[in-house]
Amino acid sequence: MNYGHVLIFGGTGMLAKATGWIAAHSERTVVFGRNRHRLERIAKQYDGYGLEAKQLDYTDNAALIREIHAAHSQHGPIGMVVAWIHGTAPKVLPTIKEQISRLQRDPWTLVHIKGSSSRLSDITKPDSDAPENCQVKEVRLGFVYDGTSSRWLTHEEISDGVIEAIKGNQPITVVGTLEPWDKRP
């Protein structure tokens, strides 16, 4: 499978392994982040797969719009966006959806990673306003519970869950468990 031109937001930390896998299965992948050290490290690690790492603070809405337009004009229609966005930046996903639907009629997939909110309802609330040409795949991050004790997911488990969601065709993928919610770590 080749995912074409992919944009990744929130992919330089815990999701780094998934970012590398996506780059290996895509024509062109651009990963955005603020931290220069993390960006240089991931660009070096996956150098052979055409991964471009660009500095962007996604809370700067004008800069976010500029980067989406620049990616589209440099590398063509966007096939997939992978986004793990902090809850403190609620404008980012609507901006991504709006800008891509302005730029292209080509179909694209939004892999929306949600997790670790203090409220379960924030995770389980479905994406409501997807553009017509956009298929949304939600990845809901939970925790691991063995009936006695619980722990958060490892970076590896999070990346593997995202990769499975990308490969599969399910609209919702739960990594770990969300139930019983009061047993979370």
Ligand X SMILES: NC(=O)c1ccc[n+]([C@@H]2O[C@H](COP(=O)([O-])OP(=O)(O)OC[C@H]3O[C@@H](n4cnc5c(N)ncnc54)[C@H](OP(=O)(O)O)[C@@H]3O)[C@@H](O)[C@H]2O)c1
Residues that bind ligand X (CB under 6 A): 10-15, 32-35, 38, 56-59, 86, 115-116, 141, 143, 152-153
* Helices and strands, number each (H, E), in the chain: 6, 9
From 171, 139, 132, 172, select the one nearest 157 (Cα to Cα): 139
Residue 86 CB-density burial (10 A; 0-12 exposed, 13-18 middle, 19+ buried): exposed
C-beta of 123 vs 134, nearer to ligand X: 123
C-beta of 34 vs 66, nearer to ligand X: 34
Closest separation between CB of residue 153 and ligand X, Å? 3
The DSSP string of 64-96 is: HHHHHHHHHHHH-S--EEEE---TT-TTHHHHH
C-beta of 61 vs 133, nearer to ligand X: 61
Closest separation between CB of residue 132 and ligand X, Å? 28
Closest separation between CB of residue 107 and ligand X, Å? 26
Closest separation between CB of residue 83 and ligand X, Å? 9
**Inter-residue contact 111 to 35 (CB < 8 Å):** no
DSSP 106: S
Task: Give the nearest residue (CB) to ligand X.
Answer: 13
